[in-house]
Amino acid sequence: MSGRDKNPLALEQEQKQYQDELHTHALSEDSITMSIPQSEKASSTEEVQHENQEDLDPMHNRRKQMDLELFQTKDQEVMLRTFPEVYMRQEETLHQKQSLKSENLFQNFTNLLIFQKLYPRGSENLMRESWHPCVPEKGGHMIEIEDLFGPNTGTQKEPQLVIIEGVAGIGKSTLARQVKRAWKEGQLYKDRFQNVFFFSCRELAQCKQLSLAELIAQGQEVPTASIRQILSHPEKLLFILDGIDEPAWFLEELNPDLCLHWSQSQPVNTLLGSLLGKSILPEASFLLTARTTAIQKIIPSLEQPCRFEVLGFSEFERKDYFYKYFTKEKDAITAFRLVESNPVLLTLCEVPWVCWLVCICLKRQIEQRRDLSLTTHTTTALCLKYLFLTIPGQHKESQLKALCLLAADGIFQRRTLFSEKDLCEQGLEEDAIATFLKIGVLQKQPNSLSYSFAHFCLQEFFAAMFYILEDSEERYGDMKNDRIVETLVERYGRQSLFEAPTVHFLFGLLSKEGLKKMEKFFSYSLPRKTNLKLLWHILEKSKPYQPPCLGLLHCLYENQEMELLTHIMHNLQGPIVPGPDDKAHTVLQMNEKHLVVQTDMELMVVTFCIKFCYHVRSLQLNRKGHQEHKLTAPRIVLYRWTPITDASWKIFFSNLKFTRNLEELDLSGNPLSYSAMQSLYTTLRHSFFRLKTLWLVECGLNSSYCSLLASALGAHYSLTELDLQLNDLGDDGVKLLCQSLRNHDNLSILRLDQAPLSDEVITELRALETKNPKLHISSTWKPHVMVPTKKMNKEEVSDSTTSFKKQRQQSGDKDMEPLRTYVIFWGSTGPVATEVVDREGKLYRVQLPMAGSYHCPSTGLHFEVTRAVTIKIEFCAWSQYLDKIPFPQSHMVAGPLFDIKAEQGAVTAVYLPHFVALQEGRVDSSLFCVAHFQEHGMILETPARVDQRHAVLENPSFSPIGVLLRMIPAVGHFIPITSITLIYYHLYLEDVTFHLYLVPNDCTIRKAIDDEEMKFQFVRINKPPPVAALYLGSRYIVSGSKKVEIIPKELELCYRGPKESQLFSEICVGHMGSGIKLQIRDKRNMNLIWQALMKPGDLRPERSKIPSVPKGASSLFHFVDQHREQLVARVTSVDTLLDKLHSLVLSEDSYEAVRAEATNQDKMRKLFSLSRSWSRDCKDQFYQALKETHPHLIMDLLEKSDRVSLGS
């Protein structure tokens, strides 16, 4: 029975059932929809995209009404350029045509990664080049959504024009709508913009003409002011133009000398071009979203914008999306575990629309009670899987072909909205339309008669299918491959052809696997030779113009055919001209190529293709502009400004296994986790991998990594050079390497930091060199205490390290500094000295002098020992270990995680802190357990007892341990906890600004926040914590007794590990003449749960109150030596400090040597290495310079010191 014969009511109910499901998860272009109530769904798509149907255009009658109203004000000439007073009765206020609402569309949408691009001033080319002839300038940095209109780095001016770029489906439109929604809710740009207007350019392009008043009416959701009021403050207006590059328009501005009335209609492209060209409303601001960066071809008058790129989901946000998509938590857990087990699929989910597609496929399998299986490695294969799971058999041929034809016509004509007549003209029957609506391939726009595909990328996939399925006799006669290519070039342009998702899908569908699946789906044969001609035709037509760009590599990845990949990548050796901007492009020499890869997806695509680039001998993955080694040509240098996930590292190293000709690999400057190191170890053991040179400089390696490195050296005998400088390997780690090197005869160069090593290990290294004459162990580290004479002999040079170590020991200078301000243990005899072992201040060592009980108030740790013992304590993050194992969802983190090391049997009991509030009586102490992380996984141990602050283990064994709490369904996530408030203020800002945190009472979180705030010159003010227990998952309102600005006013109490960004409220006070009371209230009942009085006296004293020489100075330790660790971490204006020390205590060479270091911390470490040879007078000069450049820091250190050491 056809749809025409069905009961209309039954058909409507059936469609509504499936549309509700679709509306829960549907996407618009570049956006993922989690929930779309009909009453709040967008309706700016009401205009049907075909001519001669005025009854389908709601704006048609509206314009007539406006014309009538505006006729009454015709004599009141108001020019657009100045906008004097506009006389308009309130009842004549122009009402909007309802635009796309976003309050509920994206309420569950996950955060997106935003990358700010930095370009040299005066740069006019907005194209993103793929291959660079030389080292590209650093691209930029990650930002938050509130920074989109923040001050420019160079000029400190707030931009008027912001462009958000990104590949298809990455979330650009979502981000644009989030800006509008956050502004509406008062959370974003509240003071900068009084009116924010959102426009879909696809919809605007359907309007022939609009006046400025009509445009503003369309951009409003609810009329809030008259047109007179809106235009009276043009500097307070923000126009958001979503998809500016999608319509086939040229945005030319009108004659700047021509002033038009705001009610006068003009072509939409002219109106927009005039706005963007600043001939209309020059003070207004604009936010544009676009796939391509060739925007100046459409907007010739475009000024230099502030540019951002959306990079999709972080790994955490991908997981979060799954948990928001699936209504049942067990389904979310099962689905994400499947995805997480497949690094390639997990990487594909970096793109939000692909993440949505994966969720749909897995949900269909769950609904059909199938075993979950998704092994696809490409987006094309994923779309084909989607077809198999959703399209009913009766629509697999003619009706699906008609759908593909509709998609292709829409792509060619730049249309995404279709009328019912459009659908029928392409051959779609009513029952087929109903089916496609029901399964979610199509969606109907509420309150209108138009339809669209669930996502624009889905439309592009069906369009690609059309070019393979279409019958030449049916529509285009004898149209051949050249006509298809011409059509694609006409639509996308020759330079952007390979960037188009339609072409990506074409390459994927024309692979052996793609054609095989399509034949199975349609149950008839597709001529492979004929279709392959189309693929080669695309390549041949673009060859004279198109370099092997990143888009082409995406196409090759989707295809995955070895013959094609080998052919194209082989041609990468040749010169490439011209460039993508159609100008004379520097010829890329065949010995060196540079490529920027911003995302894990791009890195996966590029390294997959590099497997087939057999001529490449060297590969470098450069992060943070790290200094390059001189690699052998031909080489490829990949630039990445953002961190790389463990899943991406796994794919990266897996792809390298099969690059047989690769001889040199440089990963310097890239932080490598233990998981990433395991992936490298696996690759090094592979028989095909013949690497000779490996650079791992400044990769965050420590002694625990050395067991993997040692094993890899034992199995990878082709390696001849290994650089491990600027890593904290320690004595234990280097000893492991030495054991392996005794049996490795091929290694000829080993670079290590030898300064931190003991004399015993140095001797062992020298013994290795003696045993293996080919082996040369060196370091770029040079001692500054000892100045070699001109005729220094070999023995003196080789003994320089040992001599320096002896000097260091004699002077009392050690790697470990006393930590007086954070970790202090108290016993029966008083405080016990604690040493900080590492640079980050996360690893401590305490020597407990005798049997007894010792506790640390700041961490909550408590030890009972039977004898004198040395204990090492490292602050850890739960994510370091939970990400590597299947963590039980029935448990929650209930306290900090420590890695404790102590002599077996010396500790009889350890009290581990937790932050669960037992006094509330809601939590049973039997639900507590202690997690031990060991090599084979996690072990849960029941504590001997639990008190209000601790879980106690008796006769413990140590490993990374922390307290967990087993959840019970009746309680859910609302667990009573003890919490703390942390308040910080900026040291140097004249206007007082506070940062207020509400977090669980976890010392690792507290220290992470301290460290993060310290980086930006914020210091903590101690105030009492909330007395009553609070609840995880609850929300709280922050307020002040005076008129202060608080952003955001609402805080959620949640657990975020020390490596995650913490939530806080920024409180802008301005001039603090008197005290101000801050309060936090429970949002549900508005009960007061915390308050504190902030007084001017809470702020640091003025610079003049800092003593020139601290009183009571000890002659044993100088002030700068005593506070070395804090000075290294907290001094920020190092260059200014150096200028003051120049010529006084620093020579020209020393001055330049310190300035050459990359970071402030490294500069300070270098400075302290020089200070070892200084006299006390020189150190006094050092102190005076610090007092002048960092007065608040010096005062802070003086206040916290119980003794100071500065010579008089």
HEC letters along 425-464: HCCCCHHHHHHHHHHCCEEECCCCCEEEECCHHHHHHHHH
Contact 747, 781 (CB under 8 A): no
Beta bridge partner(s), residue 897: 876, 962
Residue 218 or 284, more confident: 284
What is the H or E stretch that residue 640 is in?
strand 635-640
Contact 263, 213 (CB under 8 A): yes
Rounded CA gap, 1105 and 1120, in Å?
Answer: 19
pLDDT of residue 962 exceeding 90, the answer is yes
Positive or negative, the CA dihedral 499, 500, 506, 512 is positive
Residue 516's SS3 state is: helix
Rounded CA gap, 525 and 781, in Å?
Answer: 67
Rounded CA gap, 662 and 660, in Å?
Answer: 6
DSSP character at residue 626: P
pLDDT of residue 663 exceeding 50, the answer is yes
Torsion of CA 936, 942, 944, 946, to 10 degrees: 120
Give the number of C-alpha atoms closer than 13 A to the C-alpha of residue 466, restricted to the C-beta side. Answer: 26
Strands 749-751 and 776-778: parallel
- C-alpha pair distances (Å), 190 with each of 198, 237, 897, 1052: 16, 12, 40, 21
Show the tokens assigned to 86. 């506009």
Rounded CA gap, 967 and 689, in Å?
Answer: 47
Rounded CA gap, 418 and 414, in Å?
Answer: 11
Residue 626 or 566, more confident: 566
Show the tokens assigned to 1199. 């206040």
What is the model's pTM?
A: 0.59
pLDDT of residue 286 exceeding 60, the answer is yes
Question: What residues contact 175, with CB distance under 8 A and at least 6 apart?
Answer: 112, 114, 145, 164, 289, 310
Show the tokens assigned to 1035. 């929300």
Strands 834-836 and 843-848: antiparallel
Question: What residues contact 9, with CB distance under 8 A and at least 6 apart?
Answer: none
pLDDT of residue 236 exceeding 60, the answer is yes
Q: Which pLDDT value is given to residue 594?
A: 81
Q: Which pLDDT value is given to residue 605?
A: 93
Phi, psi (deg, nearest 5) at residue 63: -65, -40
Show the tokens assigned to 170. 């990455």
Show the tokens assigned to 162. 């912001």
CA 480 to chain centre: 44
Q: Which pLDDT value is given to residue 584?
A: 29
Q: Which pLDDT value is given to residue 292?
A: 63
Q: What is the mean pLDDT of the chain?
A: 75
What's the pLDDT band for 461 if we cut at 50, 70, 90?
A: very high
Strands 1045-1047 and 306-312: unpaired
Rounded CA gap, 687 and 683, in Å?
Answer: 9
Neighbours of 1023 (CB within 10 A): 17
What does the pLDDT average to over 496-522?
A: 89
CA 1058 to chain centre: 17
pLDDT, tens only, 631-653: 666 788 888 877 788 899 999 99
Q: Which residue type does 100 have?
A: L
What does the pLDDT average to over 68-86?
A: 35
Q: Which of 18-27, 819-828, 1065-1074 has the lowest mean pLDDT?
A: 18-27
CA-closest candidate to residue 1005, choices 961, 1051, 1056, 1052: 1056
Question: What residues contact 622, with CB distance under 8 A and at least 6 apart?
Answer: 628, 637, 638, 639, 640, 666, 668, 669
- C-alpha pair distances (Å), 495 with each of 169, 498, 594, 980: 21, 8, 19, 56
Show the tokens assigned to 209. 């003409």
What is the H or E stretch that residue 202 is in?
helix 201-204
What's the pLDDT band for 702 if we cut at 50, 70, 90?
A: confident
Q: Which pLDDT value is given to residue 631?
A: 63
Neighbours of 983 (CB within 10 A): 20
Contact 112, 312 (CB under 8 A): yes
CA 135 to chain centre: 23
pLDDT, tens only, 193-211: 999 999 888 788 778 888 8
Question: What residues contact 854, with CB distance under 8 A and at least 6 apart?
Answer: 825, 826, 827, 832, 846, 848, 862, 863, 864, 865
pLDDT of residue 967 exceeding 70, the answer is yes
Contact 312, 352 (CB under 8 A): yes
Contact 801, 809 (CB under 8 A): no
Of 122-131, 584-593, 622-631, 758-767, which one has max mean pLDDT?
758-767
Rounded CA gap, 451 and 513, in Å?
Answer: 32
Q: Look-up: residue for tokens 């101690």?
A: 1022
Question: What residues contact 951, with CB distance under 8 A and at least 6 apart?
Answer: 895, 911, 912, 914, 928, 930, 943, 945, 963
Contact 581, 125 (CB under 8 A): yes
Rounded CA gap, 160 and 283, in Å?
Answer: 8
Beta bridge partner(s), residue 855: 826, 862
Residue 571's SS3 state is: helix
Per-residue buried b or exposed e for 59-71, using 16+ beta carbons within 10 Å of the residue's own CB: beebbeebeebbe
Phi, psi (deg, nearest 5) at residue 1204: -120, 160
pLDDT, tens only, 854-887: 888 888 899 999 998 999 999 999 988 887 776 6
- C-alpha pair distances (Å), 422 with each of 469, 639, 674: 20, 46, 56
Question: What residues contact 1067, with CB distance under 8 A and at least 6 apart?
Answer: 993, 994, 995, 996, 1038, 1040, 1044, 1045, 1046, 1078
Show the tokens assigned to 386. 């989607």
What is the H or E stretch that residue 466 is in?
helix 456-469
CA-closest candidate to residue 979, choices 933, 1012, 1025: 1025
Q: What percent of the chain has pLDDT over 90?
A: 18
Rounded CA gap, 240 and 172, in Å?
Answer: 12
CA 1183 to chain centre: 40
Residue 728 or 385, more confident: 385
Show the tokens assigned to 183. 């502004």
What is the H or E stretch that residue 637 is in?
strand 635-640
Show the tokens assigned to 314. 């972080």
Rounded CA gap, 322 and 329, in Å?
Answer: 9
pLDDT of residue 1092 exceeding 60, the answer is yes
Residue 1206 or 946, more confident: 946
What's the pLDDT band for 26 if we cut at 50, 70, 90?
A: very low
What is the H or E stretch that residue 941 is in?
strand 937-941
Residue 1097's SS3 state is: helix
Neighbours of 8 (CB within 10 A): 9
Of 212-221, 274-283, 903-912, which one has max mean pLDDT?
903-912
Show the tokens assigned to 1079. 């309060």
CA-closest candidate to residue 1161, choices 1120, 1128, 1193, 1208: 1128
